[in-house]
Amino acid sequence: MSASPDLLDLLGGPVHEVAPLLLGSVLTHGGVSVRLTEVEAYGGDDDPGSHAYRGRTPRNAVMFGPAGVLYVYFTYGMHHCANVVCGPEGTASAVLLRAGELVDGLDSARVRRPGASDRDLARGPARLCKALGIDLELDGARLDQGPVRLEVVDTPGTEIVSTGPRVGLRGAPDRPWRYWLTGERTVSAYRPATARPRPQRSDLRKQ
């Protein structure tokens, strides 16, 4: 792995370009670190699947930026889900963190997710938040300052990213904005995927 690129520069791009670039990155909080293996991209008023489709509300305000903060929401009366805000400030977009592989703090994650297999500790957005101890108190936290940290790292160019429809959406159900590292055991089981070579961050920064 090479040195991390500037986080805020990377996250300032369009959400569908930023999302696959976050795969392989490491999110850390509460003594636990998770390598991201699956994410989903969500836009703003052009994306019927997004929380921000109908404009700004108290719940989704963090989605409107600035880039580089954590957007946390509570769903079904029991689960927290975490997103990385990206794009220009004032234009809502965020990347949902769907799944990851535990790379540090395994014992702490097991305490938060008793009875779960190691494969399933962060396999799914609610499980990922539970393993990391992320809740609504961290909504709006800056990822370059903590207490939640995101380390974006370059991975080999031979690594393959798969893409397909996002999970459980009524709005724009066929938009292929779910991305995952092909073959990773921690990724959710879902619909057939279309594999493509992973874009390189260095190429994106030249555009």
Q: pLDDT tens per residue, the chain (207 residues)?
A: 334 558 888 999 999 999 999 999 999 999 999 999 999 999 999 999 899 999 999 999 999 999 999 999 998 788 999 999 999 999 999 999 999 999 999 999 999 999 999 999 999 999 999 999 999 999 999 999 889 999 987 766 667 999 999 888 777 888 899 999 999 999 987 644 456 666 666 554 444
Tell whether 2 is covered by a domain.
Answer: no
Tell whether 73 is covered by a domain.
Answer: yes
Q: Which domain holds residue 170?
A: 7-206
Query: Which CATH number is 122's domain given?
Result: 3.10.300.10
Tell whether 119 is covered by a domain.
Answer: yes
Tell whether 76 is covered by a domain.
Answer: yes
Tell whether 172 is covered by a domain.
Answer: yes
Cα separation, 27 vs 193, in Å, equals: 25
Contacts of residues 174-177 at CB distance under 8 Å and 24 or more positions apart, as own/partner, are 175/47, 175/49, 177/15, 177/16, 177/19, 177/40, 177/41, 177/42
Tell whether 1 is covered by a domain.
Answer: no
Render pLDDT for 64-119 as a digit per residue (tens, 0 to 9).
Answer: 999 999 999 998 788 999 999 999 999 999 999 999 999 999 999 999 999 999 99
- SS3 category, 128: helix
Count of domains forming the chain? 1
